[in-house]
Amino acid sequence: MTEELNKTVSVRPGEELDVGMIDSLLKARIAGLDGTPVIRQFASGHSNLTYSITYANKQLVLRRPPFGTRPKSGHSMIREFRVMNALKPVFPAVPETFFHIGDEDSPLGAEFYVMELVPGRKLERDIPESWGFGEEENRKLCVSFFQKLIDLHKVDYKAIGLGDFGKPEGYVERQVLGWNGRYEKALTDDVEDFADVRKWLEDHMPKGEVGHAVLHGDYRLDNVILSEENPFEIKAILDWEISALGDPLMDLGNTLAYWSQKGDPEEIVRMRMQPCTAPGMLTREEVCELYAKETGLDLSRFDYYLVAGVFRLAVILQQIYYRYYHGQTQNKAFAGFGVRVNQLGNYTRSLIEKSGF
């Protein structure tokens, strides 16, 4: 396992796990574990809690929802567990999962699941200089990354037993109305209500959906594990808890909402969590061209999906900030999220102005 992947920290105050209880739980369900585990937390991630559980002979990962008030549908561990199990035979870029325990039976007080730790390289804000990447390598990595999303959207979800994973029809409307409502419920005194943005999203919804597919929901370069031997190969995609069935352009819009490039507002570029601004990386326009070519789908109204994706990101940050604002989490990293929400909301306004709708 590389240094890039193994970035863990001591478990944050208020988010501890009982080592003895976890040890007994795991050994009762996974054969061959030796010794007493060392439990640490992965440093990345602002939503669900991800723990590294290291035995002498095996490394595991435990995922659970955050503490405090949370939207249940947005932190569903069983959804993440189920979709990875179904995809694994036809779409190998998912970790192996071992078991899931629901809320009612959980000794943690919340549902959780355990999966393998996939060895490899994990990117964050920048590509390490030690990789020796130039524009050509960056572009190759970028194309590989978006091609994997295209491959996911081409999976026949009914054939792998996910036909009842959700109702794909009407996905856009449910998402827009759902995120708008969640934003209202998570409002704090120091953020704008962005009623104009929410109304625009409701008034300009596409009349029909371009198709239906398995959607990851949070596809980013910092959510994938790259092969140690071939960093252009994606070994595993992480964080499937908000996966669903629906219009694949919503998934692409969510991904490109995180994707910064030259010409974007400086405050938006500063928020980036992945090396999307590295020389050679595709622009959003180039990504859309690739996606349209590979899927044959009509992206003529993609501006709408991008606005929806950016506002959804603002809502996610506001939900996290709400917990911090009300003292439900002590993670100081969330203290500035209210400012970011206002910046993202204003960014959606500028995108709407440029959209031509």
**What's the whole-number mean pLDDT along residues 307-330?**
93
pLDDT > 80? residue 112: yes
Handedness of CA 304, 270, 219, 275 (dihedral sign): positive
Q: What is the pLDDT of residues 65-81, one digit of tens each?
A: 887 654 445 557 888 89
Domain stop point among 121, 154, 173: 121
Amino acid at 243: S
Distance CA 238, CA 219 (A): 8
Distance CA 59, CA 50 (A): 13
pTM (two decimals): 0.86
Helix locations, 259-301, DSSP H: 266-270, 284-295
Q: What is the pLDDT of residues 157-167, one digit of tens each?
A: 999 999 999 89
Q: What is the pLDDT of residues 23-82, one digit of tens each?
A: 999 999 999 999 999 999 987 655 689 999 999 999 999 999 887 654 445 557 888 899
Q: What is the CATH number of the domain that holds 220?
A: 3.90.1200.10
Non-local (6+) Cβ contacts of 350 within 8 A are: 265
Evaluate whether residue 194 is within a structural domain: yes
Cα 171 off chain centre by:
18
Evaluate whether residue 131 is within a structural domain: no
Distance CA 278, CA 272 (A): 11
CA-atom Rg of the chain in angstroms: 20
pLDDT of amino acid 3: 41
Q: What is the pLDDT of residues 248-262, one digit of tens each?
A: 999 999 999 999 999
The band of 356, judged by pLDDT with boundaries at 50, 70 and 90, is: confident
Instruction: Provide the terminal-to-terminal Cα distance of the chain, rounded to the nearest Å.
Output: 48
Contacts 24+ apart (CB under 8 A), 47-56: 47/74, 47/75, 47/241, 47/316, 47/320, 48/75, 48/77, 48/239, 48/241, 49/15, 51/11, 51/17, 52/6, 52/8, 52/117, 53/22, 53/26, 53/114
Q: Do 183 and 110 fall within a single domain?
A: no
Q: Do 342 and 195 fall within a single domain?
A: yes
The band of 1, judged by pLDDT with boundaries at 50, 70 and 90, is: very low
Non-local (6+) Cβ contacts of 219 within 8 A are: 149, 237, 251, 254, 255
Average pLDDT, the chain: 92
Q: What is the pLDDT of residues 260-303, one digit of tens each?
A: 999 999 999 999 999 999 999 999 999 999 999 999 999 999 99
**The domain containing residue 222 runs over which residues?**
136-355
Q: Do 202 and 327 fall within a single domain?
A: yes
Domain stop point among 97, 121, 145: 121
Evaluate whether residue 254 is within a structural domain: yes
Nearest one of 248, 185, 203, 179 to 352, comparing CA atoms = 203
Q: Do 145 and 66 fall within a single domain?
A: no
Q: Do 265 and 308 fall within a single domain?
A: yes
Q: Express as a percent the part of the chain with pLDDT over 90.
A: 81
Q: Do 53 and 157 fall within a single domain?
A: no
**What's the whole-number mean pLDDT along residues 8-21?**
90
pLDDT of amino acid 4: 45
Q: Do 140 and 109 fall within a single domain?
A: no
